[in-house]
């Protein structure tokens, strides 16, 4: 989705706590309601069924939390973006908080096209929700990262296929989260991407089936000209003005 007129804005928001169990569509409905409550002057599409010009980023799996979700929307008249986090957070469900807002370049790529890397922290347990031995995970991580291929089985439209997710595995780091072993994953969204669940499936440990005790999306990145940019700064209109003024 590209904005060609009006006043585009990009928001960053969290999804924490019990609200992690609502779907991507429910999050969209919550924002639509918040926009109405705050009476924001949204721009609408043309045609027989006008819709507000709102475009969400990469969907987050139900049950996962996040500190770094994004959406773009367009206003029909300008509003000071600095006022939006407090206004919208007050109108959204507990656990969804807007943490940043910037005016957006009119020709900015849609988030789903622009974001190339995502980061997660995955607290790991076994299938009985028992803590996994930290020493067992290290060799498994090293083995996967040293492999040239990492096949996983996926089901699409009722048919199984085997895909190689190794190109999507940018890095896997073994850390500790409140005494429990955790993995910090940096995953590419290219090459069909990879999900945290698939990474755990690939970490083969004898006699142990790994489970997600907790998953938090901690960051999303846009890569340009060798730089890794946070989506709020990558296409911010104010940033471009500073460059022109310098």
**Residue range 83-88: mean pLDDT, rounded:** 96
Closest CA to 132 of 217, 212, 215: 212
Average pLDDT, the chain: 89
Domains delineated in the chain: 7-113 (3.30.70.580), 117-223 (3.30.70.3190)
Residue range 9-41, pLDDT digits in tens:
999 999 999 999 999 999 999 999 999 999 999
Q: 50 Cβ partners below 8 Å, 6+ apart?
A: 44
Q: What angle do CA 45, 47, 49 make, to 5 degrees?
A: 80
Closest CA to 136 of 72, 204, 90, 199: 204
Torsion of CA 88, 90, 92, 93, to 10 degrees: 160
Cβ burial, residue 3 (10 Å; 0-12/13-18/19+): buried
End-to-end CA distance of the chain, in Å? 30
Residue range 139-197, pLDDT digits in tens:
999 999 999 999 988 888 888 889 999 999 999 999 998 888 999 999 999 877 899 99
């Amino acid at each position: 989705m590209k904005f060609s007129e009006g006043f585009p804005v990009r928001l960053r928001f969290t999804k924490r706590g019990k609200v992690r169990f609502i779907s991507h569509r429910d999050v969209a409905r919550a924002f639509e309601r918040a926009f109405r409550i705050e009476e924001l002057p949204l721009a609408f599409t043309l045609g027989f069924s006008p819709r507000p010009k709102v475009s969400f980023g990469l969907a987050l799996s139900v049950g996962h939390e996040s500190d770094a979700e994004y959406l773009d929307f367009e206003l029909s008249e300008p509003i000071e973006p600095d006022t939006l986090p407090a206004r919208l957070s007050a109108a959204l469900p507990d656990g969804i908080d807007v943490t940043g807002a910037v005016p957006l370049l009119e020709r900015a790529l849609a988030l789903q096209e622009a974001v190339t890397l995502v980061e997660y922290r995955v607290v790991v347990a076994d299938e009985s929700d028992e803590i996994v031995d930290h020493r067992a995970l290290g060799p498994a991580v090293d083995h996967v990262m040293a492999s040239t291929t990492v096949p996983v089985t996926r089901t699409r439209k009722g048919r199984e296929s085997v895909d190689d997710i190794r190109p999507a595995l940018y890095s896997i780091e073994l850390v500790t989260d409140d005494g429990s072993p955790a993995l910090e994953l940096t995953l590419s969204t290219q090459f069909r991407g990879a999900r945290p669940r698939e990474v755990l499936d690939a970490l083969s440990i004898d006699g142990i089936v790994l489970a997600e005790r907790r998953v938090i999306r901690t960051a999303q990145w846009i890569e340009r000209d060798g730089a890794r940019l946070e989506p709020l700064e990558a296409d911010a209109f104010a940033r471009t003005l500073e460059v022109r003024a310098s």
